[in-house]
Amino acid sequence: MSESEVILVSAPTKAGEQFIHQLKARGMPFAVVTNNKQEQRRFMEAGVGHIILLDTTEPETWVVPQYPIGKVFLFESSLPLSCRYLQITRQWTSDAVYVITLRDHPRKIYKGLGADYVIPSRTGDVSYLLS
């Protein structure tokens, strides 16, 4: 990841929120992707500077952000939404895309949609990936 690239995070879970806190604590540039205004408002109140609000049902709105995207971390809250985010964000980066899941969903679904890594995690703590 180059210095100008931004880490992209989908953080609909507590683990995702903790990951964002780790990014902020380390001073790493990042953006958050969400598909609802309530989550957008929560991230704004938490001081997140870059928030991408997507309409996941309208492909013509999936415009590449104005800043370069590096690694992508998608914290799974639901299989359909995670798959949609994966389809969208895979097009935005040539860097690694990680899906962090608490469930036993088949890895092949995410891999087939372009995930480089599918990380099963009981706690959701994947801060070690930032090293």
Question: What is the fold, at CATH topology level, of the domain defined by 6-130?
Answer: Rossmann fold (3.40.50)
pLDDT reported for residue 79: 92
If DSSP codes are grouped into helix, strand and coil, which group holds residue 72?
strand
From CA 21, how far away is CA 103, in angstroms rounded?
A: 23
Strands of the chain (E only): list them: 6-10, 30-34, 51-53, 69-75, 97-101, 117-120
Per-residue model confidence as pLDDT tens for the chain (131 residues): 566 899 999 999 999 999 999 999 999 999 999 999 999 999 999 899 999 999 999 888 888 999 999 999 999 999 999 999 999 999 999 999 999 998 876 789 999 999 999 998 887 778 888 87
- Choose among 46, 49, 35: nearest CA to 80: 35
Q: What is the CA radius of gyration of the chain?
A: 13
Contact of 7 with 31, CB cutoff 8 Å: yes
Length of the chain: 131
